[in-house]
Amino acid sequence: MRPMVRVNFSNARLYRTVTQAPAVFRPAFSTSARSNYASSKYVTAFTADKYPDLQRNPSFKKLSEDDITYFRSILAPFSLSQDEEDLEVFNNDWLQKYRGQSKLVLKPSSTEQVSKILKYCGGVPVFDEIVISTANMNAVRSFDTVSGALVCDAGCILEVLDNYLAERGYIMPLDLGAKGSCHIGGNVATNAGGLRLLRYGSLHGTVLGLEVVLPDGTVLDNLSTLRKDNTGYDLKQLFIGSEGTLGIITGVSILSPKRSKAINVALLGLNTFDQVQSAFKRSKEELSEILSAFEFWDRASIDLVKEHLAAGANNPLQSAHDFYVLIETSGSNKDHDDEKLGSYLEGLMGDDIVQDGVVAQDTTQVRNLWAIREGIPEACSKSGAVYKYDISMPVPVLYQMVEDMRDRLEKAGAVGDGKLVKSVIGYGHVGDGNLHLNVAAHGYTKEVTDLIEPFVYEWTAKHAGSISAEHGLGLMKASHLHYSKSPSMIGLMKRFKQLIDPNGIMNPYKYLP
Amino acid sequence: MRPMVRVNFSNARLYRTVTQAPAVFRPAFSTSARSNYASSKYVTAFTADKYPDLQRNPSFKKLSEDDITYFRSILAPFSLSQDEEDLEVFNNDWLQKYRGQSKLVLKPSSTEQVSKILKYCGGVPVFDEIVISTANMNAVRSFDTVSGALVCDAGCILEVLDNYLAERGYIMPLDLGAKGSCHIGGNVATNAGGLRLLRYGSLHGTVLGLEVVLPDGTVLDNLSTLRKDNTGYDLKQLFIGSEGTLGIITGVSILSPKRSKAINVALLGLNTFDQVQSAFKRSKEELSEILSAFEFWDRASIDLVKEHLAAGANNPLQSAHDFYVLIETSGSNKDHDDEKLGSYLEGLMGDDIVQDGVVAQDTTQVRNLWAIREGIPEACSKSGAVYKYDISMPVPVLYQMVEDMRDRLEKAGAVGDGKLVKSVIGYGHVGDGNLHLNVAAHGYTKEVTDLIEPFVYEWTAKHAGSISAEHGLGLMKASHLHYSKSPSMIGLMKRFKQLIDPNGIMNPYKYLP
């Protein structure tokens, strides 16, 4: 038996702003997240204690000195740590909901080292598994200025890549609040959605190739830079969104679009979600090819941002509204875009779809408006424990979920001062039919969980939605997969997992029920 | 042992314009292709005779009367045929290169029937296997006017779907010359690229869900209409481009974009491929979000179109050019698009990148210009036997392949009147780095094949290209897969095939070496 591994994605969900954030990027956001983490009010219980049903796989061995000696022999100095403080960031998630007991983190600096580690590994319990971080694999391997194909190591930080491309007139096809710390390999492994999906589509379309180390150490070299390639099964697709359960992504080839010369951002205040939908339908008609984001949030969301973040002061709208919409356009001709946006907004105001609105006049204002939207998850987590749900649904019923949940919790007498729940908020990507439902509570308790679940999953299944639009499954939703996938689908997933990782050493206990 | 099946994709590659083309769609093109097929100068040899190395799998049984009786019992009347004339279209490819000996075609009209057929099947030789056509499964199941998600049967014809969407203000995200006859299920099974990929991306991004019948009859029900869904491995991706070797696609859910209000098409004449590249780079800068196609062809291509097709008369450019470029823009504001395109073209003319050019003034002219480009494959096939190669490469070396091939064949004394080869032509999708290299010859002979192959594959591998950009592998390229994929990739592909189709009944002898 040999040690089992856990991949450190450093991705939005697991490590939103905690790890590897260089001070130069979004310092305010990084810092606040760090301090949030540091000034923790809660001591998170070990996941092993919280989930007594989760039994250690007896076929996994315990980590030994011999294992450590071997890893030291193949890694560069300082690429291995057993230090408790170093490990803290990997053993805790940013929501302080989960806490592992890993005693070892490895930071390989090459694909070959990753391959050697996996070849060696074979089993250790979930509570002291080996963490592999790709943070040291952070080089751009190539960039094609004609096609926009970027090839890089998995540990490159999303914002670093976006800045690299900006200098060359290109843009990363994805963007998310955690850009300053998340790794591109983690983005791909979790199929991150984010703020640009509406315009540039999902990673299943934009990722051109992957380099993946399989559990037996085999390197799958599929770092194609071609936009089209119909030679055999498109194997890379299986690893996109597999959350490290099939292999470790070490390299990524991705198609970057040209960066738009003109960016406009507008913030609108609306009375109802019906109006949000009308504004969205019209934006598809009138803004069409220049529309690059259509985000919304509710009054409860902005209240939290105002309470907890500096960005709360960014809201330029005078009076309060029940709904807010942030619209972004990106195009190649500023005059044309201004004209399209102006005429679209005039139409909305004229038809009383929108009550109030502003258009950013410079890049600072653009950034400030985005900071409100991007600050919502952080503001929510600052208010205590957060139950986060990330749901895909047909747009017409998108907000009904929030109302029904609020109703349910209020009827149960769980909401208000001194009660279990502080606030139920809804926000998300209207353009993608993606709602983020957050319930801010005073702590993670069985009582609150039972009020929310399985209600939220049943509601979603009833409306033909998905219980995870972009956040993935992890440990939390593995056992709820059946709400979104049929037995035949889950059966085939398990056969794939068994085929590629027969010993189950990759991110065990997670993803599949 | 039970009968083995072959899926009839009715897709671009296999049955470009032969089957199921309703007379109302592109009658000229359909008719000419039909007559081309009917007036065949060649009697295609049986593939079984032409490939003596291809041995019948001894574990497959021969079709018996009992099998036929069973199939009759589960299918609607007239959904089964053993008639030789009915079968001719399925046993021959449109290039008259391959000829099978299937004695039975089944046309199920429901997913359940497909499932029953596959559950029953298990083995018959490649030379008389069962053909399954999805032509009778051709209903639109649902369309969401807010999101643009279309769900339909696999046997729906691409152009029928596009017309259906046009009435609702939407557009299919893919388009190809064979639209009047090809099935959406075949498009997905072969991961068709086509003319809109530059704008809307590949099917890996636009297909939202699939319904697939596995070789054991299991129905994989993954017809999601959600734009985002991160619950488990994205299994549908494996079937996109698997050419029927893993299962039969019976239903497709696809995201359709809004149809653009304004369409512009320009035809340009240029002197060199360097100029083609300059024009392309500038189009990405200046036309950016409204660019929807950037196609090119060479002088030899237009010569063939002029010789064989009515569309040859459509060329409005006075003098001959070594290269032609067709640019299409699609946007939401005609004035804005005209201005962008006008200023782009003026720049090209001013800088002597383009020698001549026209912009279509109405929809008839738009159609006529497209007819030149879409007519090239047909014109080429009319001139005799055609060796077709479909290569992905970095744009800078895209045309060098054609020049090197022409050089090679000329040096071998193979080109000219009374020689083996009539013409070497190059055309394709510059925007996707996709070259179609066609060699028109007097017949399919070993001599010509040996002059072209493996040279063309080695050249492609040397330039980090793919030997099949969008046409797939089939029988022809299965054994050449190693030029584009590593042993570890091919090894994993074979393990997937073995896992899902352990008896090898789906499209045997093809796809994988």
Is B473's Cβ below 8 Å from some Cβ in A? yes
How many degrees, rounded to 5, is the angle at CA A288 between CA A287 and CA A293?
75
Whether A319 shows a pLDDT value over 60: the answer reads yes
DSSP letter assigned to residue B124: -
Between these two residues, B336 and B41, which has the higher pLDDT value?
Answer: B336
Q: Give the Cα separation of A206 and A199 in Å (integer).
A: 12
Which of B488, B497, B500 minimises the CB distance to A221? B488
Whether B11 shows a pLDDT value over 80: the answer reads no
The confidence band for A363, taking pLDDT boundaries of 50, 70 and 90, is very high
- The domains found in chain B, sorted by start residue, are 5-133 (3.30.43.10), 140-255 (3.30.465.10), 262-378 (3.30.70.2190), 383-471 (3.30.70.2740)
**Can you give the pLDDT at residue B150?**
98
Whether B319 shows a pLDDT value over 80: the answer reads yes
Q: Give the Cα separation of A461 and A9 in Å (integer).
A: 29
Whether A125 shows a pLDDT value over 90: the answer reads no
**Can you give the pLDDT at residue B10?**
46
Is B144's Cβ below 8 Å from some Cβ in A? yes
Over residues A469-505, the pLDDT tens digits come to: 888 888 888 889 999 999 999 999 999 999 999 988 8
Tokens of B107: 């046309």
User: How does the average pLDDT of chain A come out, rounded?
Assistant: 87
Whether B35 shows a pLDDT value over 50: the answer reads no
The confidence band for B5, taking pLDDT boundaries of 50, 70 and 90, is low
Between these two residues, B35 and A272, which has the higher pLDDT value?
Answer: A272
Q: Give the Cα separation of B342 and B245 in Å (integer).
A: 48
Whether B27 shows a pLDDT value over 70: the answer reads no
Q: Please identify among residues 409-448 of chain A the ones whose CB lies closer than 8 Å to any CB of chain B.
A: 429, 432-434
Residue with tokens 């991160």: B230
**Can you give the pLDDT at residue A17?**
24
Selected residue of A188, A197, A231, A432 to mutate for chain B interface (largest B Cβ count, 10 A): A231
Between these two residues, B398 and A102, which has the higher pLDDT value?
Answer: B398
Amino acid at A307: E
Q: Please identify among residues 164-183 of chain A the ones whose CB lies closer than 8 Å to any CB of chain B.
A: 169
Give the CA count within 13 Å in the CB-facing half-sphere of A480: 22
Which of B238, B288, B490 minimises the CB distance to A258? B288
Amino acid at A116: K
Contacts of B474 in chain A (CB under 8 A): none
Contacts of A392 in chain B (CB under 8 A): 226-229
Whether A237 shows a pLDDT value over 90: the answer reads yes
**Can you give the pLDDT at residue A54?**
79
Selection from B428, B439, B429, B302 nearest residue B372 by Cα: B302
Over residues B320-350, the pLDDT tens digits come to: 999 999 999 999 999 999 999 999 999 999 9
Selection from B228, B8, B19 nearest residue B133 by Cα: B8
Q: What are phi and psi of A71, to 5 degrees?
A: -60, -40
Over residues A183-194, the pLDDT tens digits come to: 999 999 999 998
Helix axes A334-350, A273-286, angle to 10 degrees: 140
Tokens of B154: 């696999």
Average pLDDT over residues A136-154: 95
Whether A285 shows a pLDDT value over 70: the answer reads yes
Whether B29 shows a pLDDT value over 70: the answer reads no
A230 vs B472: CB contact, 8 Å cut-off?
A: yes
A228 vs B432: CB contact, 8 Å cut-off?
A: yes
DSSP letter assigned to residue B105: E
Over residues B361-396, the pLDDT tens digits come to: 999 999 999 999 999 998 998 888 999 999 999 999
Whether B354 shows a pLDDT value over 50: the answer reads yes
Residue with tokens 């063939």: B304
Over residues B244-302, the pLDDT tens digits come to: 999 999 999 999 999 999 999 999 999 999 999 999 999 999 999 999 999 999 999 99
Q: By the 8 A CB rule, do B480 and B470 touch? A: no
Over residues A70-90, the pLDDT tens digits come to: 999 999 998 999 998 888 888
Strand pairing of B149-153 and B219-222?
unpaired
For chain A, percent helix, then strand, then coil, each to nearest 5? 40, 20, 40
The confidence band for A335, taking pLDDT boundaries of 50, 70 and 90, is very high
Q: Give the Cα separation of B155 and B185 in Å (integer).
A: 6
Strand order in the sheet with B104-106: B5-8, B130-133, B104-106, B80-81
**Can you give the pLDDT at residue A356?**
93
- The predicted complex's ipTM stands at 0.87
Over residues A423-469, the pLDDT tens digits come to: 999 999 998 899 999 999 988 899 999 999 999 999 999 998 999 98
Whether B33 shows a pLDDT value over 50: the answer reads no
A41 CB burial (10 A radius; 0-12, 13-18, 19+): exposed
**Can you give the pLDDT at residue B3?**
52
**Can you give the pLDDT at residue B94?**
73
DSSP letter assigned to residue B258: B
Q: Give the Cα separation of A405 and A411 in Å (integer).
A: 10
The confidence band for A155, taking pLDDT boundaries of 50, 70 and 90, is very high
Whether B215 shows a pLDDT value over 50: the answer reads yes
